[in-house]
């Protein structure tokens, strides 16, 4: 559970770090949004470093959680309801994350 929550926080930091510059570039919002965006991306990198396994494995598994969190963002922030196909894709991505992170490994 700790791993999943850490991945979710990591994904949220990355999405915020990318969404704020999007607001500046595409929606004409203030360039001051780039400061919290940089902070969010720094937080994203730091959170990735907290995972106890090999970085390549973390990055691969993180992608599955990112897909699910991005769809939650789509629904909650963009106010676009995910389709059944979106949800199925997120379920497959999360299953892949679970296999990568929680598979037995030789010691």
Is 95 a member of any domain? yes
Hey, what are 93's tokens?
Answer: 């991505």
Enumerate long-range contacts of 76-81, CB under 8 Å, 24 or more apart: 77/19
Domain total for the chain? Answer: 1
Mean pLDDT of 32-53: 92
CA–CA dist 105, 107 (Å, integer): 6
Q: Has residue 23 been placed in a domain?
A: yes
Q: Which domain covers residue 11, as residue numbers?
A: 2-102
In a domain, 107, yes or no: no
Q: What is the mean pLDDT of residues 49-57?
A: 76
Residue-wise pLDDT tens digits, 56-75: 778 888 888 899 999 999 99
In a domain, 43, yes or no: yes
């Amino acid at each position: 559970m700790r791993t999943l929550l850490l991945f979710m926080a990591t994904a949220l930091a990355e999405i915020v770090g990318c969404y704020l510059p999007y607001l500046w570039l595409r929606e004409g919002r203030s360039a001051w949004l780039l400061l919290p965006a940089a902070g969010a991306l720094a937080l994203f990198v730091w959170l990735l470093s907290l995972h106890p396994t090999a970085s390549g494995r973390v990055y691969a598994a993180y992608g599955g959680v990112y897909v699910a969190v991005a769809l939650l963002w789509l629904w909650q922030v963009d106010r676009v309801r995910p389709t059944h196909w979106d949800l199925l894709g997120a379920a497959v991505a999360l299953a892949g994350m679970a296999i990568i992170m929680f598979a037995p490994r030789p010691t």
